[in-house]
A and B are shown apart, each in its own frame.
Chain A
């Protein structure tokens, strides 16, 4: 009969699998190897946040809550103008609503939100999934997740140049022959601001947490 070889094959296959090492990951004892860019929890780098509300408005299920107030910074120079800035009072993400789409992180112009691979924040009470930026427990702090944010993984081979680097490497507009496509000689830039390589523009959205004003604002507020 023809089924006999197949039957023996089944026995051999299972026996061979039994002799090989298993695939089981003993999770609570052994940390899982997560792929890069894993979406575990959203971490907040508070210093970078300007309370611009973009994330809250883009969030598809409205799970980000932001409260802020304006503060006046007195002019530093004689006769100068007073400046106003936003101070973040409350930043909360309700992870019982969050669907981990990552749009808030995409949309943040100042890299205040980051994906952290940390995923062990299950709670007994649904309400405890509302992560405030400064809850009492260190574990529950939205900002506390920042410690677990890994450095960004290296770009893939043949990937396009990162936008910041491409912008920095691009020749200043009007300086090279590429800018003179109009044919009538080198065109002068229309704006007054020169866009030299040393301008602060490209790094404003960079990863340096020491953005110009927010850190000292905390001390200035009382």
Chain B
């Protein structure tokens, strides 16, 4: 890989990283508004408020960057980057077209898993370094949530890895067949629920529950650093949606996949993102104990059963 190609790939991933979360954010604005009988942003940019998030970004840049005096300075300032950058890394490994991914490494499934876990570490750092009781509680809740929901995600992905016989996202997508839609369905549902929880999205947003914890780990953040946390959340939605689209919905598989493969991947991913938004609008927040119950009493057993089913399938050669 020449230097030019590497630069080009990095630039395109960065561009996708800056555009796709905004698209999801705008979709969330509009979908949520219409689900609540509202119109959502209508003025910014002229046409149906398409530039609302750009305007928000400009606003965030103008705000003062405050670090509380009691805060652990370096950790506090580093936390947004720790939350944001892993998703950039994860996004780079996702294959969007037959044979096309920004970074194609043999163990990309493991890499994505590791990266998304580091992302949640940013929330924990922010909560711990803020020297604020709300932030601390939010951070600890985030940590507890991370520990509980990492396991179902790993198990669900392990089932896919077994079914496809690889740890590379590219090879797994190549191995995908429509039969997986049914065969891997339980694992897929577990992954969706656990991914929502991992992203701390409603109905699993106890770490930022604004009625109880102000803004959780983000309470003390202002300006651009706060915007980075928001961007990380939406980048996380993009990564998780694309991951689900690639592994469970077949990614580029579809009509004219040689030319339109990238479109199918993006469309499927967008559909999953809309589902994530829909769930956010429709359901109330779980209680902290309900969250743990759901993880350990439902998701982990279902994921284990899926693993068993997949194992049986692989051995029997379905």
| Beta-carbon contact of B38 and A22 below 8 Å | yes
Q: How far is the CA of A24 from the CA of B34 in the complex (A)?
A: 10
Q: Which residues of A contact B154 (CB under 8 A)?
A: none
Q: Which residues of B contact A14 (CB under 8 A)?
A: 35-36, 278, 281-282
State the majority secondary structure of interface residues on B: helix
Is B283 close to A, CB under 8 A?
yes
* B interface residues, tally (CB under 8 Å): 14
Q: 1/0 contact trace for B254-270 toward A, CB 8 Å? A: 00000000000000000
Is B39 close to A, CB under 8 A?
yes
Smallest beta-carbon distance B204→chain A, Å: 14
Q: How far is the CA of A196 from the CA of B283 in the complex (A)?
A: 72
Q: How far is the CA of A199 from the CA of B159 in the complex (A)?
A: 98
| Beta-carbon contact of A13 and B282 below 8 Å | yes
Size category of the A interface is 10 to 19
Q: How far is the CA of A24 from the CA of B279 in the complex (A)?
A: 23
State the majority secondary structure of interface residues on A: helix
Q: How far is the CA of A18 from the CA of B31 in the complex (A)?
A: 7
Which one of A10, A15, A20 contacts B283 once the chains associate, using CB atoms below 8 Å? A10
Smallest beta-carbon distance A124→chain B, Å: 22
Smallest beta-carbon distance A29→chain B, Å: 9
Q: How far is the CA of A10 from the CA of B38 in the complex (A)?
A: 17
Q: Which residues of A contact B34 (CB under 8 A)?
A: 17-18, 22
Q: Which residues of A contact B33 (CB under 8 A)?
A: 22
Q: 1/0 contact trace for A40-78 toward B, CB 8 Å? A: 000000000000000000000000000000000000000
| Beta-carbon contact of A15 and B39 below 8 Å | no
Residues of A within 8 A of B (CB): 7, 10-11, 13-15, 17-18, 20, 22-24, 26
Q: Beyond the given A14-B282, A15-B278, A18-B34, please list 16 additional residue pairs across the A-B interface where CB-CB is below 8 A.
A: A7-B283, A10-B283, A11-B282, A13-B282, A14-B35, A14-B278, A14-B281, A15-B35, A17-B36, A18-B35, A20-B37, A22-B33, A22-B34, A24-B37, A24-B38, A24-B39
